[in-house]
Amino acid sequence: MDTRVAGADYRTRSGGVREAVGSVIDLVGNTPLVNIRNVTRDIPPGVEIYAKLEGYNPGGSVKDRPALKMIEDAEKAGRLTKDKIILDSTSGNTGIAYAWIGAHKGYRVELVVPGNVSEERKKMLSAYGAKVIFSDPLEGSDGAIRLCWKLYVDNPEKYCKLDQYNNPSNPLAHYETTGPEIIAQTEGRITHFVASIGTGGTIMGTGRRLKEFRKDIKVIAVEPDSPLHGLEGLKHMASSIVPGIYHEEELDDKIPADTEESYEMTRRLAKEEGILAGQSSGAALLGALRLARTLKEGLIVVMFPDGGDKYLSTRVWED
Amino acid sequence: MAVKVRIPTPLRKLTEGKDEVTAEGTTVREVIDDLEKRYPGIKERICEEDGSIRKFVNLYVNDEDIRFKLNLDTELKEGDELSIIPAIAGGMC
C-alpha cells in the first residue's frame, strides 16, 4: 500500500507516513541513511559518503540493537526470567538501552558504570529506573568490567549477566539488522563500511553481513590514536581488555583518530550539516574522509553511533 | 614538597604499572613538570603543546577540579592528592 500523502510537506523514513506500531521496541533499527554533502566538499567527485544515524533509535544510540537482541536471546534461552536482574558493565549507551528495554519489559536492571561518564547519561539511567553502581574513574571501562564480574560471581543466581563484550548476540544484532538495512538503503552500491570500535559488535556483525553480500566490500575500523583519549565509548584496543567478540583479522584496515580532530569534526557536523552527533561520530567521519581521499570512486557508509545531546555538558563543543 | 599522584590505567605503562606515585612541587604545574622528569612522556599525554591541560583530561586536587580553582597554578600542600582522571569512559560501539 502506498502510504504517501498528497501535498504533505513532511517526510518520513520511508518517504511515506510511518505506520503506528504496537510498542516502542518496534522502533529499534531501520534508522535513516543520509548523504553527507558539506564537510565532504574536498573529496574526489566519484566518492559519496552516507551516514547511518543511529541516534534515531528510541534509546538514542546504536546500542538499542544489540541490547534488545541480547535480552531477547536470553529470554528465549531461559537465562532471563522476571526473578533475575539484568546486569552488565557499560560506559553509557548500552546501559541506557538495557534500562529502557528493561523498563518496558518489566525487568530490574543494574549497571556498573565508570564514575566519569557524562552527567546526562547518569540522569537518563536513573530516569529509566535502573540501579547504577559506579566504578573507579581511574580504572576506566575495564574497571567497570572487573567490578561487574565480581558482583556476578558473588551472586550468580540473582543476575542475568548479558556481557556485551563476549555475547555473540551483540554482533548478531548487526548481522541481522544493520547490514541488511545498509544493503537495501544503498541499493547494494556500498563499497566501504566505516565504524568506530567500542565492543566491536557493530563492525563485526555488520561487516560479516556486508562481506557475505559482496566480498569486495571493505570494512574499516576507526579507533582512538592513544590509550588516554577523549572519545567516549571507544576503545584503544592495544591498551584494553580485548572483547571476545572482536576479531581484528576480519577488518581490512584500521584508521587512528585524534581526539581534538574528532571533536572539531563533531562541531563541524553540527555547524555545517545540521547534525548534532556524539564525538564517536566525529571520529568515524574523520576516518571516512581520510579513506575517501585515497579513492577515485566508491560509496562509503559511516556509522554515527549516537546523537550529541548526551554530551552537551562535556567539552566537545568548546572551540 | 611531596604529593601523591593517582594515575589512570591508560598512563600506567609510563609509571611502571603503578597506580599511585609521588612527585614534588608547590603547584600543579610544578608537579606535572616533576612527573615528566620521573616518567618521561607523561606530560604530553596530559597537556597540549602550549602547556594547557588537554580537554579530555581532568585534574583533581583532593576532590576539587582544578579548573574551578587556579588551574595549573593551583597550590598544593604536603599530603595533598592529585588525581589524573580521563574526562570520558570508553567501550560502547
Question: Does residue B91 form part of some domain?
Answer: no
Sort out which chain A residues have CB atoms less than 8 A from B55's CB and list them: 230, 259-260, 263, 315-316, 318
Mutate to test the interface with A, among B7, B18, B93 (most CBs of A within 10 A): B93
Question: Does residue B73 form part of some domain?
Answer: yes
Contact by Cβ (8 Å): A120, B72:
no
- What is the average pLDDT value for chain A, to the nearest integer? 93
Q: Would the CB atoms of B90 and A197 count as touching at under 8 Å? A: no
- Among the ranges given (A65-74, A163-172, B1-10), the one the predictor scored with the smallest mean pLDDT: B1-10
How many domains does chain B contain in total? 1
Question: Does residue B76 form part of some domain?
Answer: yes
pLDDT at A11 (0 to 100)? 47
Q: Mean of the pLDDT values across residues B26-41?
A: 96
Express as a percent the part of chain A with pLDDT over 90.
79
Q: Mean of the pLDDT values across residues B48-73?
A: 92
Pairing mode, if any, of strands A33-35 and A46-53? antiparallel
At B88, the pLDDT band (50, 70, 90 cuts) reads confident
pLDDT at A6 (0 to 100)? 53
Domain with B72 in it: what CATH number?
3.10.20.30
Sort out which chain A residues have CB atoms less than 8 A from B10's CB and list them: 140, 226-229, 236, 239
Residues in chain B: 93
Express as a percent the part of chain B with pLDDT over 70.
95
Q: Would the CB atoms of B90 and A234 count as touching at under 8 Å? A: yes
pLDDT at A213 (0 to 100)? 98
- Among the ranges given (A1-15, A31-45, A54-68, A113-127), the one the predictor scored with the smallest mean pLDDT: A1-15
Asked if residue A7 has pLDDT above 60, the reply is: no
Number of C-beta neighbours around residue A38 at 10 A: 12
A298 membership: H or E segment, kind and range: strand A297-304
pLDDT at A318 (0 to 100)? 85
Question: Does residue B79 form part of some domain?
Answer: yes
Q: Which of A172, A220, A190 is nearest to A49 (CA)?
A: A190
Please indicate, yes or no, whether the overall pTM of this predicted structure exceeds 0.95.
Answer: no
Question: Does residue B9 form part of some domain?
Answer: yes
Question: Does residue B93 form part of some domain?
Answer: no
At A15, the pLDDT band (50, 70, 90 cuts) reads low
Question: Does residue B21 form part of some domain?
Answer: yes
Contact by Cβ (8 Å): A164, A201:
yes
pLDDT at B1 (0 to 100)? 82
- CB nearest B10 (choices: A94, A116, A239): A239
pLDDT at B41 (0 to 100)? 95
Q: Mean of the pLDDT values across residues A106-112?
A: 97
Pairing mode, if any, of strands A108-114 and B2-6? unpaired
pLDDT at B91 (0 to 100)? 42
- Cα(B89)–Cα(A137) distance, integer angstroms: 8
Sort out which chain A residues have CB atoms less than 8 A from B83's CB and list them: 138
At A95, the pLDDT band (50, 70, 90 cuts) reads very high
pLDDT at A9 (0 to 100)? 52
Which 3 state secondary structure label does DSSP give A64?
Answer: helix
pLDDT at B90 (0 to 100)? 53
Provide the residue range defining the domain that includes B22.
Answer: 2-86
- Among the ranges given (A137-146, A232-241, B18-27), the one the predictor scored with the smallest mean pLDDT: A232-241
Q: ipTM of this predicted complex?
A: 0.82
A110-164 pLDDT tens trace: 999 988 887 888 899 999 999 999 999 888 888 999 999 999 999 999 999 999 9
At B93, the pLDDT band (50, 70, 90 cuts) reads very low
Question: Does residue B36 form part of some domain?
Answer: yes
Which three cell numbers mark B74? 593551583
